[in-house]
Structures are given as structure tokens and as C-alpha cells.
Chain A
Amino acid sequence: MRLPLLIGAILSATALSAAAVSLAWTPYDIAALAIADKLQPPSAAHWFGTDHFGRDIGSMLMAGAQTSIAVALVAVGIGMGLGVPLGLLAAANRGGLIDEAVMRANDLVFAFPSLVIAILITAVFGPSAVNAILAIGIFNIPVFARVVRGGALSLWTLDFTRAAEVAGKGAARISIEHILPNVANLLIVQGTIQFSLGILAEAGLSYVGLGAQPPTASWGRMLAEAQTMVTLAPHVAIFPGLAIVFTVLGLNLLGDGLRDRLDPRSRRAP
């Protein structure tokens, strides 16, 4: 395994396992306040220190990972679930009216800066993790639709799809049996990248107060709250910041590494 892929896999696995463990156990209860212990620097008892309410930052990071990953994962799910069928449909109808309609609808979504629309959605329906998921998910749809359509278009020019037509198979069946397995590589890679972008978007929304609401832990909100104390107790801002950076970096490295690894040209049979 190449080094960047290995690093990406380790960083991503760390974030994922932190989130998984936090479901059952965190070193401290993140809802319990202990004002007496506030803003303690990292120590043996609190590895990452405590915040202005005396909560353990390490525990909050673990719980925050859970929020970030859940939001990004569901958002990627929405994007794939709707984008992939749309992309397959557009490619099967290549050059036709449906293709045109799907792609222009994609352009419409692409035309708006994603964060602005996310703010709009949460402003209208109220800030919550669910609305953040929806906002991020909607922007994943055209990304997946385009990636799948692009891959599918080149597959439709290959003779094996022609052979399937000669065998009497319809466009829907060919899309599922022949096109989908061959664009799976593209989907895995794009999925990983959208996942990291989703984490970034969730952090951004929480930072401006439009994501997960207290008492749910969130990296973005931890940053927002630490903002005023950054000169007083820098560790309160540094650790959530590092958590975001390393998770996003890890997922990007993983995505790039997987792209190289899954590229059929790099593992052509002798």
C-alpha cells in the first residue's frame, strides 16, 4: 500500500473508531458541567484539557466526531441514492430530453454557492442536525449524477453494452448489470471525497450556529465557542481545529489513494 493511502486509512479509521466508541463510552460525561475545573490545560486527567464549562475536550471531540460523521455519511447517502440513478438515467437517455433535463437541473443546483443554500434551508426550517444533513445532501446529488453520467457515457460506447442490447436487454437492465459495477470505482472515490467535504460543511454550519444544537457536541460549535478564549486557553480552539483538519485530510488521502488503486489501468492483468 502506498504511504498516502496508508496515512489516509489510519486517520479515517481513527475518526471513525472515536465516533463509534463515543456511542457507548466517553472518558467523561459531556453534559456534566464542572466550573471549578474550567479551562485546564492538557493533563493526565484531561488529555486535551477542559473548556470554559470544565467539560473534558477529549470526550467532546469523540462525541463531535459522531455528529460530524453521521451528518456527512447520511448526506453522502442522499447524494448517492438520488444522484446515481439520475446519472444512469441521463446516460441511458444520452442526447435526449431526459438527459438534458437532468443535467440542466444539476446546473441549477451547482449555480448556487452551497453554503448559502444551506444557510437558507436552515434559516427557513430552523437550525438542526437534520436540516444540515438535508442541505449538504442536496448538494451531493448533482456531484454524483455527473460523475456517474460521465463514466456511464464512455461505457455506453463500448461493445459489451452493444452485446447486451443484442441479447435483448433494455437500457435499465444494462445500466444496473453492466454500467453500475463499472462505475463503482468512481463512486467509491467520489463518495470518500464528498464525505470529507460533508464533514467540512457540517463544521461550517455548526460554526455559524446553523448545525447541531446544544447539548449535541459538534466540532464546528466547539470552535465557535473557543473563539473568544483563544488567547487565554489556545488548546480549546486548537484540538477541534486539528480534529477537523486531520479527518478531512485523512479522507482526502484515502480517496486519492483509492482512485489510484482502483484504476483498472494500474492493475491490468499480464
Chain B
Amino acid sequence: MSLLSVRDLSLRIHDTPVLSSVGFDIAPGDIFGLVGESGSGKSMTALAIMGLLPHGAAMSGKADFCGQNLVGLPEKRLTRLRGNDIGMIFQEPMTALNPMKTIGDQVAETLLIHRAATRSVARSAAAERLARVGLSSDRFPLSRYPHELSGGQRQRVAIAMAIALRPKLLIADEPTTALDVTTQAQILDLLTGLTAAEGMALMLITHDLAVVAGRTTHTAVMQRGRIVEQGETRSLFRQHRHDYTRRLFAASAHQPARRARDSGRPLLTAENVVREYTLPRPSFFAAHSRLRAVDGVSLTIRGGESLGLVGESGCGKSTLTRAILGLDPLQGGAIHLGGVKVAAGRRVPRELRARVQVVFQDPYGSFNPRHRVHRLVAEPFHLTGAPADLRGRVGAALSEVGLEPADMDKYIHEFSGGQRQRIAIARALIIRPDLIVLDEAVSALDVRVRAQVLDLLARLQESHGLAYLFISHDLSVVRSVTDRVLVMRAGRIVEEGATESVFTDPRHPYTRALIAAAPVIPEDWKEVAHASR
């Protein structure tokens, strides 16, 4: 008998249909994967089951959980179910916890709300639950506050809260999307381990096919509010009967056709670059301590090549990027750009800065919402002086990235995430730089859009002889689009080499750990997929 049986679940928010006839079953002990692109209705399905829908939502259908239909259940009954029988964890570990409460209190609170225990019993139960998720009370006392923990540790606390009352079903909505690769592997191990040990079922919502591939027993693929295909994970991956599933798989394994145009001439050379930050004084009379975010990094980017830079959050990638963009002066070392040396403490001259441009990660935060596209794209001309045919140049840049010149009079909110990333590329391209820094430039995009943008980047590299510095936490993307790769950790480059050889034969233990932790679709599953195409 299934634990949760969803039938014909439909949902409208005001006049917009969000879900239509969603149906699936989760058996006790199952790990059920729900995959789909952003806006496909994955999270809404979870929220509908939990009865946590926004105002104006109208739901129909059936969701049988342990013999009672959750659809139309009064709020009072639902609150008793939530936390008690169904636990939930969310994507963002930074905001999922109350910053004003200790982790012990937050876990104990779940027990107290459901009157499952007295205060002292609840606290010892909280300690036990936290130990269960790997935060033993000798190293992580209950009196810790969320800000004293890392992202992965906070996600562990969130999990401890969700499983405090031993729910029968745990819903995890993109639980590892905001985490680093190695942390992601640990959290996924924890979740799958808990599922087996506690005898609960897990509903794992994610956009990442590789995460689903390694962990789930059953998988459903969602598109535009419908489940287009579902079944046992292994056979679903091998067969992809539905056309959408097939396209999704093809896009996630997409390898843009690239012809290396490495000119062999060094374009940008960094020698022993040091970037330090002054930290606040630990006490009033103590000296400022310093944080060395980039610690003696040397690297060379050759004209026309794609260089990858991988590393986890806090490793100094962003600081190094700012130094390469010429935004911050160095504390030590030097940067050579096109034969000109920029020594420590000096600002990068404007004509040199015009040779390096950047595309950022967030397609929503990269543009001033109050300016029209032509003004946004033309912004880098501030470095070089505006040409006579400004609008012509903007139009040409937009055509190059696959948009219409007429788009220049629109505002940025009129474009989708993928289109915005194209506009960001047009902005970087417009003053004809030699090097474009792609700072997680495709990380926020859905797989199919990501494949298109990667193709565009490959095409532009070939036609303009551009060099790319491709910064990403996503190893599979870095592998498919770069010639050489640097692995950075704690402000230092720990490994450098040709991409393929670093990935197949990593020398440094950290590189090995990174590659081992990255979720992958098993090779033999992929081969069948390719053969059936």
C-alpha cells in the first residue's frame, strides 16, 4: 500500500493554471525524485501536499496520505500533520532557520509545538536528533546560533527539525542546490541514509538529473504543471520514452562544438597575486587581523583559449575575479595584461580594463531595472568613449547574441532568464574585449537554456577569437567547455592542467574529492540513452 497517493491533482492560482492532473504514488521507504525545469510546478506540488499554498489558490483532486485526503483538509488538521507526519526542508539554509534562536531550541520547538514532550525531554531529544544528522553535541552544543554554522551544517539542522518527530514522509525541495559539491554529496548521503534507517519515505525535488540518478528509486519528470513521464529511475533514464525527457537528458549532457583557437600568446598573466582584507579588530586594543583571500596565485590566460576555474564557495574565486577585472588594487604580485604590467597597489588603466569584460551569474540582478536595454548594453562604452553610431553598435551586438535589434528599446523585465544572459553577453561583447570572465554565467539557467547559451559562447569565441575565464562550481559544465582548468582552494591554486587530464587523472587529493563528490549519471545509463536516440 502506498504512503502517499496523489491522483488528478490540479491547482489554479487566481486564473493561472499551475498544476494539471498530477498523479503519483510514494510507498513507505521509497525515494521519489521529482525533476523539472524552473516553473514546471515541482515546488507547487510539494506545497499543495503540505497545504501551504498562497492566497488565491484553488485545488482539486485527491492526495491520500495514510488513508486521509489532504486536499480540502481544514487548516487545524493540516497543522497537526505538518512536522508530525510530513516533514519538509527547503533550498536556502541561510533563511530556513531563525537567526535569533539556538539550534537546540529550534529543534526542540518542533517537539514542543506538537506537545510530544516536556521541555527537558524535548531538549535531550533535540540533542539526539542533531547527533543523528551529524552534529554531535560535544562539537556542536545546543546553544549554538545558526550564524555560527556553515551552510551545510545549517541544512543539517533543518533536517534535524524536519525529522524530529520521525515523520513518515520527508519532502526535500532542492535541499542541496545552494550548497557546494562536497557538502551536497554529504547531505544527500545523510538524507538517503536517514530514509533507510528511519523507515520514512523521501520526496526529493530537484532540477539536477544527476542528483536524481544516483539516489532515487522512482522518478517523475514535470513540465508545465504536468507529469510527462514517471517510473522506476533506472528504466526511466535508460528509455526516456517521452520526447521532453529525451530533450532534457540531451541538454544536460550537451557538449558545445568547439574548435580550439588557442593563439598560444599569453593575454593575461598573474604573478603571485595577493589580495588581503582587513578584518574588524577582535577587541578594542588588538591590531586588525587580515584575511588573505587570494594567496600568491599565478595563472596565465592565453588569447582565444577557455580556462576553467573551479573551487567551492569561500575559496577566493570572486576576489580573484575582481582583481582580474581591475576593480581592486593588489596587495602583492602583479598582473600583466596585453604586455602592460600592473603592479601591486596600482589601479588598472582604463584602456586595459576595456580588454576584460564580465558576465555575472544572476540574470535578474545583473541589470538596472530602470534603464532600457540600449542603455544597459552600451554601458561599457564609458571606458572607451561612445562611438558615433551607438544604436547601430548596440543593435549589432544584440543580433550577435541572437536577439532582435528592436529589443533595445525594451526594459529588462520583458526578457526571460536565458534572454537576459544573452543581453549580458552582448554587454560584455560590445567593446570588443579580448577576455570575458564568465562568473557562474550559466549556473542559474535551466539545462536546455544553458545548452543554448553554451553554444552561443562557443560560436562567439570562434568568430571573435575571445578568451574565456570560466568560473563555475559545476564540474560537468567546466569539463565540457574548457581547454585548461585551475582548481582553487583556500586562496591558492592547488592543481592546474589540461581539462581532460585533470578530470581523468586528478593529482591533488582535493581535486579527487571534488570529482568524486560531483553527482553523475552512471555511464552505462547514458550509453543506452545515446544509442536509443
Contact = CB atoms under 8 A, between A and B. Distances in A.
B353 A159 contact: no
A169 B411 CA distance: 22
Interface in B376-397: 379-383
A165 B379 contact: no
A interface SS class: helix
Contacts of A165: 325, 327
B367 interface: yes
Interface stretch (B92-100, B112-120, B356-364): B356-364
Contact of B325 (A166, A169, A178, A269): A166
Interface of B: 325, 327, 350, 353-354, 356-358, 360-362, 365-370, 379-383, 411, 413-414, 424, 427
B379 A163 contact: yes
Contact of A164 (B325, B369, B379): B379
Given A178-B368, A181-B370, A269-B413, A166 B327 contact: yes
Interface in A212-270: 264, 268-269
Nearest to A157: B365
Contacts of B327: 162, 165-166
Contacts of A162: 327, 358, 360
A166 B354 CA distance: 8
Contact of A167 (B370, B383, B411): B383
Nearest to B328: A165
Nearest to A181: B370
Given A159-B365, A167-B379, 18 more contacts: A158-B365, A160-B367, A162-B358, A163-B360, A163-B366, A163-B379, A163-B424, A163-B427, A165-B325, A166-B353, A166-B380, A167-B380, A167-B382, A168-B350, A182-B369, A268-B413, A269-B413, A269-B414
Interface residues of A, number: 18
A165 B328 CA distance: 10
A167 B358 CA distance: 10
**Interface pairs A-B: 4 shortest CB-CB:** A269-B413, A159-B360, A158-B365, A168-B383
B307 to A, nearest CB: 19
B281 to A, nearest CB: 13
B382 A168 contact: yes
Interface in A164-220: 164-169, 177-178, 181-182
5 contacts: A159-B360, A163-B379, A165-B327, A181-B368, A269-B413
A159 B366 contact: yes
B383 A163 contact: no
Interface string A76-104: 00000000000000000000000000000
Nearest to A264: B369
Contacts of B368: 160, 177-178, 181-182
B71 to A, nearest CB: 28
Interface of A: 158-160, 162-169, 177-178, 181-182, 264, 268-269
B403 to A, nearest CB: 17
A264 B412 CA distance: 13
Given A166-B325, A166-B358, A160 B413 contact: no
Nearest to B380: A167
A159 B441 CA distance: 12
A270 to B, nearest CB: 9
Contacts of B414: 269
Contacts of A158: 362, 365-366
A148 B356 CA distance: 32
Contacts of A166: 325, 327, 353, 356-358, 380
A55 B411 CA distance: 57
A160 to B, nearest CB: 5
A159 B379 CA distance: 14
Contacts of B365: 158-160
Contacts of B380: 166-168
B434 to A, nearest CB: 14
A160 B366 contact: yes
Contacts of B356: 166
Contacts of A168: 350, 353-354, 380, 382-383
Nearest to B358: A166
Q: Which of A163, A165, A178, A182 has the most CB of B within 10 A?
A: A163
Nearest to B353: A168
Most chain A CB inside 10 Å of its own CB: which residue of B356, B358, B366, B368? B368
B413 A159 contact: no
B228 to A, nearest CB: 23
Contacts of A269: 411, 413-414
B382 A159 contact: no
A168 B382 CA distance: 6
Contacts of B362: 158-159
A181 B375 CA distance: 14
A185 B23 CA distance: 44
Q: Which of A159, A178, A181 has the most CB atoms of chain B within a 10 A radius of its CB?
A: A159
A93 B214 CA distance: 48
A166 B356 CA distance: 8
A269 to B, nearest CB: 4
Contacts of B413: 268-269
A168 B361 CA distance: 20
B13 to A, nearest CB: 13
A268 B415 CA distance: 12
A164 to B, nearest CB: 6
A268 B369 CA distance: 11
B382 A169 contact: yes
B431 to A, nearest CB: 9
Contacts of A177: 368
Nearest to A173: B382
Contacts of A163: 358, 360, 366-367, 379, 424, 427
A65 to B, nearest CB: 35
B444 to A, nearest CB: 11
Nearest to B366: A159
Contacts of B383: 167-168
Contacts of A181: 368, 370
A256 B192 CA distance: 49
A163 B420 CA distance: 14
A269 B419 CA distance: 15
B52 to A, nearest CB: 19
A259 B277 CA distance: 38
A168 B347 CA distance: 11
A160 B427 CA distance: 11
A264 B380 CA distance: 27
A203 to B, nearest CB: 37
A159 B357 contact: no
A6 B220 CA distance: 49
Nearest to B381: A167
A160 B370 CA distance: 11
B51 to A, nearest CB: 24
- Name, among B350, B367, B379, the residue most crowded by chain A CB atoms within 10 Å (CB to CB): B379
